[in-house]
Structure 1
C-alpha cells in the first residue's frame, strides 16, 4: 500500500473514531478534563483558571453552557464546531487576539457570548456569522479601535451590546444598522469626542445608553434621537454646554447622569423636556447656585444628587418647589455651602433621605427638616458650632431606638467641645454664651444712648432758661421797652406767663381827677 492509500486510510480511521466518540458521548456523557467541573444534567462545563491554552474538544457535544474564563487561550479557530447546542459561552480573561471569520457559524442557538478582557483590536465583517439567536454580547476591556461596517450584520436579535473600555473614536452608522432590537448599549471608557447621532438613530428600541468617561464636550440639539430611551449616562466627560433642545426627543427618559462634567450653570431649559425623569445626578460640576424653579418641570423626580460641587454656595428656597415626589436628596461634599434657607425643604413632604455630609454648615434648625417623612439624615463632617441652637440634635443623638443615626457627628466649636461627639453631650451642656455677650452689648449701647439723649435735653432746657433770665435783666425798672414813643408816657402791663412780660401802649393821656 502506497503513502497516499495509507493517508486516506488514516483519515477514514479518524472520522470513524470521531463518529464513535460522538455516539458514545451522546449516550453516556463525555470526557471531563482535569481542572473542569462538568454537569451532565444541564449539561455544562466550567473550566475556569485551568491553565488551558486551547479550547477542549472532547467535552459533551450537547453542552448548553461552556465557561472557559481566566485561561491562556489565544485562538478559537474551528474550536466550536462540535458544540452546536451552546446557549452560553464565556471566553473572558484570555489572550484571544482575533475572532477570525465564521468561527461561530455552528452556534445558531447561542444567546450569550462573553469576550471581555482579551487582546482584540478589531471586529471583522464575519466575526459573528451564524449568531442569529445572540442576545447578549460583551466585548469590553479589549483594545478595539475599529468596527467593520458589517460587524454586527447577523445580530438582528441582539439586546445588549457592551463595548466599554476600548479605544473607539467614532461609531459608524453602518455598524449599527442591523441592531434594530438593541435595548442596551454601553460605550463607556472609549475616546469618543461627540455623541454619534447618525449611529444611534438606527437603534429604534434602545432604552439604556451609557457614554460615560469619554471626551464629549457638549450635548447638541437633538443629538440623542432615541425616543424610547429610559436611561442615559454621560458621567465623567468634559461637557460644558447643554443645548436647550438637547433632550427634546427623549421625553420618556427616567434616569439621567451628568456627574463629573464642566457644567457652569444648571441647564434648566434643557431639563424641562424630561417630564418623566425620576432620577437626576448633577454632582461634581461647576455651577455656583441652584436657582428658583430649577426643576420646575420634574414633578416625577424621586432621586436628586447635587454633591461634590466645589463652587456651590447658594440654593434658592424655591429650588425644589415643583418636586413634591422627591424622596432622596444628596447635597454632600459641597464645602462652600454654609447656609440652607429655612423654607428650602418645605416643598418636599415625602423626603426620606437627606445627605448633608461634609458641607460648610455651622448650624441647622430643627424646624428646617421634614421630620414626618425623614428616615435617614447625615450631617457628619460639618463645622458645627455646638451651642443652644443644636440642643435638638444632641437630644436626637441621645434618643434610643431612633432610625436616624447621628452618633458620629462632632463639634468644631467652641474649643471645649472640639472633636467631641454629640452623643457624649447633654442638651443642658450647650449654651449660647456668645449670644448673651451680644445681648449684653446691645443693652449697654441702648442705655448709653438713652442717658446721652436725656443729658442733651437737660442742657438745652438750662441754656434756654439762662438766656431768658438775662433778657429780663436788660429791661428798665419800669418795664418799658426802650423803643417807647415820646408822646406815650404810660403803659398797661399784661403778664401772659411766668417768664415772659408783654407790654401794650395806650394813646390816651392820663387826666387828674380834679380836672374831670
Structure 2
C-alpha cells in the first residue's frame, strides 16, 4: 500500500487537530461531527446534506461505513479520504466536482457504491478509480464526459452497475469496457452517440440491462447488439430511430423487455421483432405508424404486456392484430388522439387478457363482442368522446356489477358529462328495460324474416311444379263438378221414388198444387 510522505502526514494531523478544536460537541452529535450533519457512531453513518460544505470533512469517525455528502459545494476529492478506509457507500452527487485527482480512492478497497452524478466532471482515465477493487455500483450520470478511453474501468472487476447516462459522450473505445466481466447494468442514454457502439459490447457477455436511448442513431444495422446474448432489458426510447434492419435484434435470444417508445417508426417492425421469441414486455408508443395491422406482433408468442401510448398518428387496430399473442395479460392503448377504430374481434381470442386500458383515445362506442369483458380484472376507459345510447346499456350494467372505472358521456348534448353508470335505460333511449327482452324480440324478428325468406325461396325455386299442381287441382275440381252434374241428371224424381220403394224407404209425400 503506498505510503504518505512526511508533509502529507503532517498536514493531515494539523487538519484533524483543528477540526477537533473547532467542532462543537452536542448531546445528539458524535465527537467531530460538523455542524448541521448527522453522525451515528453506532451504525457508522454520516449524513451531511445541503450543508454548504466545500471540502471533505476530516474530523469524522475513522470507522464510518456510509458517507452521504450530496447537495454541497465540494470541488475536488482531496487526501481526506485516506482517513476513512472502511467506507462501503459514498454519495457525492450534486456537488461542484470538476476533476478527480489520480489515486484519490486508493485506500477505499472496501467501497462498494460510489455516486458522483450531477457534478462537472469532464474527463476520467484508467487511474481515476485505482483501488476500487470491491466497487459494484458506479454512478457518473449527468456530468460532462465526452469520451471513454481504452481500459477505463478495467481495475473494477466486480462492477455490476455503471451509469454513464446524460453526459456528452460521442466516442467509446472498443475496449473501454474491457475487464467488466461482472457488469449487469449499463446506462449510455442521453448522450450524443451517432451509432450503436457495437464493438464495445463484445466484452460484456454478462450484461443483462442496456439503456441507449436519447441518442441520435436513426438506424439500427444487422447484429447491432452482437455479443449481448444474456441481455434481458433493452431501452431504445427516444433514440431517433426511423429504420431498423431486418436482423438488428439477431442474437438477443433472452430479451424479455424492449422499449421503442418515442422514435420515428412509420410501421411496426414485425419482421425485426420476430427474432425475439422470449419477449414479454414491449413498449412502442409515440411513433408514427397509423395502424396496428393483422399479425403485427407475429412470432412474439410469450408477449405478456403491450403498451401503445401517445401514438399521434394511430387510427385503427385491425382484427387479428394480436392473433399470435395468446399470452397477453396487459394491453395499454392510451392517449392515442386519433384512435377511434378498434375492429370487432381485435381483442377476441386472448384467453389470458386480464388488464385493459383504453383511456384518452377517440372511441365513441364499444362493442359488446369486442372482448371478453367479464374476464377482465381491471378496465380503464375514461376520457373518450363516448356517445351514450341504448347500445351501451350492457356497459353500464357491467360497470355497476364489477365496480369498474366510470365513463362520462360526451354525446348527445343532453347527457354530456353525465356518468354512464348513473343513466337509466330510459335515459339511454331503450324501449325495453331488460336486455333479454330485446334479445328475444330481435330473435323472433330474425326468425320470421328467415322463415318468410325460406318460403319465398322455395316457391321461387319450385314455381313450375306449383303451377302444374294448381292446374291439376283446378282441372280435377271441374271434372268432379261435371260428373256430379251428370250423376244428378241420371236420376229423375220418378226414378228416385221407384228406387226408394224397392229399398223399403218411405217416399216423401209430395203435395200437388
Partner residue, 1:243: 245
Can you give the 5+ residue segments of structure 2 that lack an aligned partner in the other structure?
1-5, 21-29, 432-513
Q: Determine the C-alpha separation between the residues in 1 that align with 2:381 and 2:10.
A: 79
Q: Secondary structure at the match of 1:174?
A: coil
Q: Determine the C-alpha separation between the residues in 1 that align with 2:152 and 2:85.
A: 21
Q: Secondary structure at the match of 2:375?
A: coil
**Deviation of the 1:17 alpha carbon:** 10
Equivalent of residue 417 in structure 1, options 404, 415, 418? 415
Q: Secondary structure at the match of 2:396?
A: helix
Can you give the 5+ residue segments of structure 1 that lack an aligned partner in the other structure?
1-7, 23-28, 434-516
**Deviation of the 1:153 alpha carbon:** 2.3
**Deviation of the 1:395 alpha carbon:** 2.6
* Equivalent residues of 2:345, 2:371 under 8 A apart: no
Partner residue, 2:321: 319
Give the alignment of 1:314-393 within 5 angstroms.
Answer: 314-393=316-395
Give the alignment of 1:219-238 within 5 angstroms.
Answer: 219-225=220-226, 226-238=228-240
TM-score, L = length of structure 1: 0.76
Partner residue, 1:90: 91
**Deviation of the 1:15 alpha carbon:** 5.7
**Deviation of the 1:316 alpha carbon:** 2.2
Q: Determine the C-alpha separation between the residues in 2 that align with 1:9 and 1:253.
A: 56
Give the alignment of 1:103-142 within 5 angstroms.
Answer: 103-142=104-143
**Deviation of the 1:179 alpha carbon:** 1.3
* Mean Cα deviation higher: 333-342 or 81-90: 333-342
* Equivalent residues of 2:363, 2:384 under 8 A apart: yes
* Equivalent residues of 2:361, 2:383 under 8 A apart: yes
* Equivalent residues of 2:114, 2:137 under 8 A apart: yes
* RMSD of aligned Cα (Å): 2.5
Answer yes or no: is 1:307 the counterpart of 2:305: no
**Deviation of the 1:170 alpha carbon:** 2.2
* Equivalent residues of 1:126, 1:150 under 8 A apart: no
1:335-381 per-position Cα deviation (integer Å, ceiling 9, x unaligned)? 22222222111121111111111222111122322234212212222
Q: Determine the C-alpha separation between the residues in 1 that align with 2:7 and 2:88.
A: 36
Say which one has the larger Rg: 1
Q: Determine the C-alpha separation between the residues in 1 that align with 2:231 and 2:180.
A: 15
Q: Determine the C-alpha separation between the residues in 1 that align with 2:9 and 2:311.
A: 72
1:95-135 per-position Cα deviation (integer Å, ceiling 9, x unaligned)? 11001211000001110000011111111231101101100
Q: Residues 31 and 364 of structure 1: is their aligned pair in 2 closer, same or farther, counting only changes over 3 Å?
A: same
Partner residue, 1:458: none
* Equivalent residues of 1:388, 1:432 under 8 A apart: yes
Partner residue, 1:160: 161
Q: Residues 156 and 432 of structure 1: is their aligned pair in 2 closer, same or farther, counting only changes over 3 Å?
A: same
Partner residue, 1:268: 270
* Mean Cα deviation higher: 292-301 or 230-239: 292-301
1:457-511 per-position Cα deviation (integer Å, ceiling 9, x unaligned)? xxxxxxxxxxxxxxxxxxxxxxxxxxxxxxxxxxxxxxxxxxxxxxxxxxxxxxx
**Deviation of the 1:422 alpha carbon:** 1.5
Q: Determine the C-alpha separation between the residues in 1 that align with 2:179 and 2:63.
A: 30
1:429-459 per-position Cα deviation (integer Å, ceiling 9, x unaligned)? 11279xxxxxxxxxxxxxxxxxxxxxxxxxx
Partner residue, 1:430: 428
**Deviation of the 1:150 alpha carbon:** 3.5
**Deviation of the 1:11 alpha carbon:** 8.0
1:271-295 per-position Cα deviation (integer Å, ceiling 9, x unaligned)? 1111111100110111122222222
Partner residue, 1:286: 288
**Deviation of the 1:424 alpha carbon:** 3.3
* Equivalent residues of 2:88, 2:112 under 8 A apart: yes
Question: Number of matched residues?
Answer: 417
Answer yes or no: is 1:202 the counterpart of 2:211: no
* Mean Cα deviation higher: 278-287 or 171-180: 171-180
Q: Determine the C-alpha separation between the residues in 2 that align with 1:172 and 1:34.
A: 45
1:165-186 per-position Cα deviation (integer Å, ceiling 9, x unaligned)? 1111122212111212110001
Partner residue, 1:43: 44
**Deviation of the 1:76 alpha carbon:** 0.7
TM-score, L = length of structure 2: 0.77
Partner residue, 1:404: 404
Partner residue, 1:257: 259
Q: Determine the C-alpha separation between the residues in 1 that align with 2:15 and 2:285.
A: 65
Q: Determine the C-alpha separation between the residues in 1 that align with 2:278 and 2:197.
A: 24
Q: Determine the C-alpha separation between the residues in 1 that align with 2:414 and 2:374.
A: 34
Answer yes or no: is 1:56 the counterpart of 2:54: no
Q: Secondary structure at the match of 2:302?
A: coil
